[in-house]
Every structure is written in C-alpha cells, then in structure tokens.
Structure 1
Amino acid sequence: MTLVTLAQVLQPALKGGYAVPGLVCLGWEDMRAYVAAAEAERAPIILQAGPGCRAHTPLPLLGRMFRHLAEEASVPVVAHLDHGYSLEECRAALDAGFTSVMVDGSKLPLQANIDLTAAVAELAHASGASCEGEIGFVGYAGGAASAGTVPDEAARFARETGVDAMAISIGNVHLQQDAGQGLDLDRLRAIEALTPVPLVIHGGSGVPTAERAALAATSNICKFNIGTELRMVFGTALRAALARDPSQFDRIEILRATEAPMTAAAQAVIRNLGAHSQAEAAG
C-alpha cells in the first residue's frame, strides 16, 4: 500500500526542486488514468476530490476509491480533499480515509481564516493526515475576481495555522482554459522570503507550461492543481469515441476510450513539473 500524506510528497519536492501535480478527479476513469500515469512515470500523485466531485459521488465512496487505487499502486498516492469549507466537512473526509484535507477559508476575514484553518490542521495532524490552507483568494475565469496574497499575511497565516502547504493567489485563476500571462513573480518571491512552507498554485491549467516547469524547479511552489486542461482532454476523447461509432451505447466501452488520452496528458503534466522518477524519494 502506498497511501501517503501531502507532507510526505511535498517535503521531498521542496528539497528536490520539482512539484507534484494535484489532479482534479471527477470519476473512476480519470482517477485510474492518473494513477496509471504516475506508475508509468514513477512519480508521486495527488488525487483530489473537489466540491463538484463530491456533489456527484458521496465522500465515503471517494475515500474508498482513492484508497483502493493507492493499495494497488507502487507509487505514493495522496487522497486529498480539495476546497473543504468547514471543520465538519474536513472531519468527514478524514473519517472517510483521506490523508490530506484542504480547508478553504479564503473568503473569510484574516483572523477567521486563521482560526478555521488552525482547527482543521490540528484535527488533521491528530489523525496522521496533512492540511492545506489558502491565504488570499484565487478567483474564477468569468466569475469572482482574485484578491492577491499579501506576503506579511501569508507569513502570519503559515505561522499561526501550522499548515503543511499554503495555496496562494499570485495571478492564478480557477477554470482558465487557456494559458494566461503568467504569475506575479515579485509577489511570489516576497512570500517565499517570509515563510518556508510549501506553496500551492490552484488554477494551474492557466499557467503556461514553461513557467510551471521553471517554478517547480526554482521556487517553493511544490504543488500545481491541474483540472481544466485534463477535463478538456476527456471531453475531446469522449466526442471522438462517439463520432467513431455513433451506434455505440455501452457506457463502459465509451468511457474506456478516454483513459489512454487522459493517461498520456497526465504523464505530460508530471514530466513538465519534474516529478517523474521521484516515487522512491517521496515514498
């Protein structure tokens, strides 16, 4: 069994100059494809269940699915709750067997965010799990605008919460389909100067791949969340499968056609972040 915590994969990444992808899962086919990609690349992997995934599949089932894949894998696999919004939701994830929880108090006033995140971190650590928090607010393409992370607040947040990883807002945006203009590197370096906590970029699909690779190798960003670009691969593969055989109605056969393209796309993400051939170091 290679089920591990977030800290167990991010600390080696911080020291080794690479980043681990947090891959957003929506169903069994993409979960399996992501683990297959990690196996092929000998890389650690973070399987993430966000709010959309949890709305579709009950949390206890997701925990079992993630843990089953980890038990069968020979590379480190993190079972991660993405964007939990309350202590109760994070507790439920830990009870379901998740090894890491991300509590999102980014819309709260600073002190309330610190209080919530510290409580979740204490709970997670008592369970032998890890905790990720968010300081600043990462906005959404076509939706809520971002609020950039203030370096002094990030240092205080890291110090007072005890998080294992800290998501920051430096120009990254959720659900962005095209690579944007890049990140605010001055803000990033100011944050790094004040705290050694591993950093996380949500909305990684909107960061140019060359910049992702460079920051994975040269910054404290140890985790890029990748969802949109992989969902786009899934959609393209699904449409192609249906076009090839319009008479096909077996959902298992239709969905199976998405797995190879998803695996190849996830392998490319892993290699781009330098996480390939790192399984032994992380495990």
Structure 2
Amino acid sequence: MSLVTLKDVLQPALREGYAVGGLVCLGWEDMRAYVAAAEAINSPVILQAGPGCREHTPLPVLGKMFRHLAENASVPVVAHLDHGYTFEDCKIALDSGFTSLMFDGSRKPLNQNIDETAKIADMAHAAGISCEGEIGFVGYADGEASAGTDPEEAAKFAKEANVDAMAISVGNVHLQQDKEGGLDLDRIKAIDQVTEVPLVIHGGSGVPVEQRKLLARTSSICKFNIGTELRMAFGSALRDAVNKDDERFDRVSILKETHDPVMQAAKTVLQAFRG
C-alpha cells in the first residue's frame, strides 16, 4: 500500500467498528517487525516515535526509516509523532516526512491546550497530514497520577481544536506492565455521546485484551497505543539471544533473533483490534 495519514486509517475504523494499533517504536528492529506483523494479517499499522525514541534517534532519521518501511509495505502505514510537546517538535516531524502529529498539551489549562493544539492542527492540515490531541491527563505507572477526561471539556476540545483524533484519560496509564486494570466504561460512553471524533487510548498495554476487543467494536475508540508489552517481548527475546552464547558479540546476529518474537507479539496485538 504505502504511506498514509492517521485520518486515512481511523475514519474507516470508526465507520466499520474496529481499531488500529499505534505501536511505539524504539529502533529499526521493532519497527520492521511491526510492519511485518501488519502485513501478515493484512492490517494497517501506526508507527509511533515518542520522546524516548527521539532522544536516541533524531526525527529526520526516524522519518526516513518510517517512510522507507511504508513505501515498501503491502498495507497502510502511518508515520506518527507521539507526544510532541512543542510547536517545534511538531514542525520538525512534519518537515521530516511524518504523516501525523500528536501534540500533547494535556498538562496545560483547557483553553491553552485547545489554542495550541488548534495551531498544530492547522499546520498539519495545511500540509495534508493529520493531528491528534489529548484532553485529560494519562498518568504513569509508579509516576504522575492521571486526571480523568471531563466529557464536557472533551466536547469543547473536539469541536474547537479541530483534531482528527482525540486521546482521552479513562483509567488508562502509561508504562503499565500487567493487564489487571480496566477502563472506565461509563466515562467512555459519556464522551462518546458528546463527540464524533475518533478516540485514542494511550497506555493500551494495561488494558485487558477482551476489553480492547469490546471497545474497538462498540465505541469510538479507534486507536490503542501499545508500547510496554511489545518492549517486554523485545527485551525477553534479546536477553535469550545474548544469554544463548557467551562468546557471541556481533550485534546484528544478536538483534536478528528479536524479529520473529516481536513480530508474533505485534500480530497478537493487531489481531485483537480487528475482532
């Protein structure tokens, strides 16, 4: 297929009752495995470059990597900036060939968040790409606490920020390693009733798989961000590869052994969103 925008993959998901995986990338090995997984089940995929990834690899390099994979893929691939905190972050991503910008103003007062997100959305739309915003704050396991999304504020944000997707805080938490929690279904329903924009769940690794399936079919949640459980799969595969032979030192031969386990983990994640 090729490189597409976030809107290109989320609008069909919204209409047809499924979700798309926003898979958090840290390097070439995982992003390549994610595209292979998507191709194996004929699913679109969103490759995401978050703050941790960007600390290690500059945005212009990531843009080329994402675009190379997308342009050679048989399925739709989105090149997505995750948690851009400034206008400059988003502008660099746009100039680097990304097809979707997520501006995170969730720590800011509502009106400031709307104004700044709308500015990013205008820039993105003028360039023919998409914009995701966030209302409410999604916290971190063993870190900052969440602030749940108020449905009335969500309605105002969706209307005035002009985003193509809206991330919400409904019991989800970043970096959660287990799936013992669950999302606030009543809050999701209340937000659904006053908005029409595709909804996004950050911290999707902590959401039980059956609930992911249910919400993909029955709500406006069209995108789940998955990072931690795939990083765990990568780490386990890398540990096994390193420990298998104490004499081996070639990084390429070691890293090759992460591909199949990460691809299988990503396939499992993506299949659940398709029902």
Give the TM-score taking structure 1 as reference length.
0.96
Cα distance in 2 for residues equivalent to 1:29 and 1:173 = 26
Residue in structure 2 matched with residue 186 of structure 1 by the alignment: 186
| C-alpha distance after superposition, 1:98-144 (max 9, x if no partner) | 00000000000001000010000000000100000000000000000
The superposition leaves residues 151-170 of structure 1 with CA deviations (integer Å, 9 ceiling, x where unpaired) of: 00000000001100000000
Aligned mates of 2:59, 2:244 — CA distance in 1: 35
For structure 1, which runs of at least 5 residues remain unmatched after alignment? 276-283
* Displacement after TM superposition at 1:87 (Å): 1.1
The residue type equivalent to 1:150 in the other structure is: D
Secondary structure of residue in 2 paired with 1:183? coil
CA separation in 2, counterparts of 1:86 and 1:26? 21
2:140 and 2:203 map into 1 onto residues whose CA distance is 8
- The whole-number CA distance in structure 1 between the counterparts of 2:217 and 2:14 is 9
Question: Percent of counterpart pairs with the same letter?
Answer: 69
Report matched runs for 1:86-165 at 5 Å. 86-165=86-165
Instruction: Find the aligned partners of 2:181 and 2:239 in 1 and give their Cα distance.
Output: 30
Q: 1:273 aligned to 2:273?
A: yes
Give how far 1:54 is off. 0.3
Deviations 1:26-47 (A, max 9, x none): 0000010000001101000000
- Structural mapping, 1:8-27, within 5 Å: 8-27=8-27
CA drift at 1:88: 1.4
Instruction: Give distance in 1, aligned partners of 2:106 and 2:243.
Output: 43
TM-superposed CA distance for 1:181, in Å, is: 2.1
**Helix, strand or coil at the partner of 2:178:** coil
Identify the range of structure 1 (173-182 vs 134-143) with the bigger mean alpha-carbon deviation.
173-182
Greater RCO, CA 8 A, separation 6+: 1
CA displacement 1:27-75 (0-9 Å, x = unmatched): 0000100000011010000000000000000100000000000011010
Aligned equivalents of 2:264, 2:162: Cα separation in 1:
36
Partner of 2:49: 49
Match of 1:171 in 2: 171
Counterpart of 1:4 in structure 2 is 4
Superposition misfits of 4+ residues, deviation over 6 angstroms:
none
Question: Which consecutive unaligned segments of at least 5 residues does structure 2 have?
Answer: none
1:33-72 equivalences under 5 Å are: 33-72=33-72
Counterpart of 2:78 in 1: which secondary structure? strand
2:213 is aligned with 1:221 = no
Who is 1:280 aligned against?
none
Name the TM-score, length of structure 2 as normaliser. 0.99
Give aligned pairs, total. Answer: 275
Task: Provide, for residues 167-209 of structure 1, a one-character-per-residue CA deviation record: whole Å limited to 9, x for no partner.
Answer: 0000000000001321000000000000010000000000001
2: CA distance between counterparts of 1:42 and 1:270?
A: 10
**Distance in 2 (alpha carbons) for counterparts of 1:181 and 1:114:** 30
